[in-house]
Amino acid sequence: MRILSAAVYISGTLCILCSNFLVDFASATEAMPKFPQNNLKGGLKDSPLKQPKSPLINGPPKPVNDKLKDDSNKTETKDAKNGLNKPPKNINDKVKDGENKTPSQDLNEPSFKLPMRQKESSWYTWLKGTKKDYETLKCFAKGNLYDWLCNVRESFDLYLQSLEKKWTTCSDSATTLFLCECFAESSGWNDSQWGNWMNNQLKEQLKTEAEAWISTKKKDFDGLTSKYFSLWKDHRRKELDADEWKNKVSSGGLSEWEELTNKMNTRYTNNLDNMWSHFSRDLFFNFDEWAPQVLEKWIENKQWNRWVKKVRK
């Protein structure tokens, strides 16, 4: 009997259910307004595991059909939101002064393992089982991405703190250069003009820097998703009898396998890109809450006076 897995999004909470683990994604909606709901594909099946102590409030969402091009039909659930709340306190990646760090993750030793199953001797039975193993793949990847995304979330909070400190102290050459260029036309500005400059040009510059930071994390995320697919693909290949695999290799009969896994990879990548889209939206929401508070403080303190003295030395 094949072990089934599922990713369930319920009332702003993501639960990943599979053969040997259950993971809760605490939603950022606990502290933020909810964004419009979007679909994030994830199959739903009954799990033999017990529910966690914190019960799920609503019943499971209604499934919507999601077909591969080869007409295999899987049910996918609608995603309410895939934001992450702040990660647990026991995080190994401690970032001082906003250093741009996220934890190094041993991709060859993921936290959650793929299930070990008996080898299949029939090529066609094994290939059919591969098509149905998409949920295992998705469960495996999302389970291992959870801790990493939590660390990115905390690192971003620390990054915003460091960004505020950098601009307050005007401590690097790039910041100084930006201010010099802006101040070239600022002679005679009144407080209102300075406030307008801060709430527009300076805010846009802060956002540009935050976007660049988030973009580096997206590249890391893409690397992880690609690696997890490769690990799953290699694991699945080894679930076929070695002699049967060699026979297919020698006869040039791997086209069905390659075509199927390419389709699965496209579906998987799109699914996780949607996951990142929701997560990054939460990061930008954090920025949109942080920036006005910092700018208001700078305007109240007439921070431009300190900057002018700093850059005109």
Q: Where are the domains positioned within the chain?
A: 90-311
The pTM for the full model equals 0.66
Q: Which amino acid is at 313?
A: K
Give residue-wise pLDDT tens across range 188-226.
899 999 999 999 999 999 999 999 999 999 999 999 999
Percentage of the chain modeled with pLDDT above 70: 64
DSSP 63: E
CA distance 156 to 102: 10
* Alpha-helical regions (H) of the chain: 123-132, 134-169, 173-183, 191-197, 203-237, 242-250, 255-300, 303-311
Instruction: Please determine, for residue 41, whether its predicted confidence score (pLDDT) is greater than 90.
Output: no
CA distance 100 to 80: 30
Residue 134 binned pLDDT confidence (cut-offs 50, 70, 90): very high
CA distance 150 to 156: 10
Q: So what's the pLDDT on residue 174?
A: 92
Cα 168 from chain centroid? Answer: 30
Question: In terms of pLDDT, which residue wins out, 281 or 2?
Answer: 281
Are 136 and 114 in contact by the 8 Å Cβ rule? The answer is yes
Q: So what's the pLDDT on residue 110?
A: 66
CA distance 114 to 137: 8
71: left (phi over 0), alpha (psi -120 to 50) or beta: left
DSSP letter string, 248-263: HHHTT--HHHHHHHHH
Q: Which residues pair with 76 in a beta bridge?
A: 64
Calculate mean pLDDT across residues 140-150: 91
Instruction: Please determine, for residue 36, whether its predicted confidence score (pLDDT) is greater than 70.
Output: no
Cα separation values, 153 from 14, 140, 174, Å: 16, 21, 25
CA distance 214 to 151: 13
Residue 155 binned pLDDT confidence (cut-offs 50, 70, 90): very high
> For the CA atoms of 261, 265, 267, 270, what is the dihedral angle to 10 degrees?
-170
Q: So what's the pLDDT on residue 186?
A: 83
CA distance 289 to 28: 13
Question: In terms of pLDDT, which residue wins out, 287 or 78?
Answer: 287
Structure tokens at 128: 């059919």
Residue 111 binned pLDDT confidence (cut-offs 50, 70, 90): low
Instruction: Please determine, for residue 292, whether its predicted confidence score (pLDDT) is greater than 80.
Output: yes
Q: So what's the pLDDT on residue 125?
A: 95
Instruction: Please determine, for residue 285, whether its predicted confidence score (pLDDT) is greater than 70.
Output: yes
Q: Which residues pair with 13 in a beta bridge?
A: 10
Buried b vs exposed e over 11-26: b needs ≥16 C-beta within 10 Å? ebbbbbbbbeeebebb
Instruction: Please determine, for residue 74, whether its predicted confidence score (pLDDT) is greater than 90.
Output: no
Give residue-wise pLDDT tens across range 247-284.
999 998 899 999 999 999 999 999 999 999 999 999 99
Instruction: Please determine, for residue 185, whether its predicted confidence score (pLDDT) is greater than 50.
Output: yes
Mean pLDDT (the chain, rounded): 75
Q: So what's the pLDDT on residue 265?
A: 96
How many residues are listed for the chain in this entry?
A: 313
What lies within 8 Å, CB to CB, of 100 at 6+ separation is 155, 159, 213, 216
Structure tokens at 151: 């660390």
Q: So what's the pLDDT on residue 310?
A: 85
Q: So what's the pLDDT on residue 135?
A: 92
Residue 24: phi and psi, rounded to 5, are -100, 130
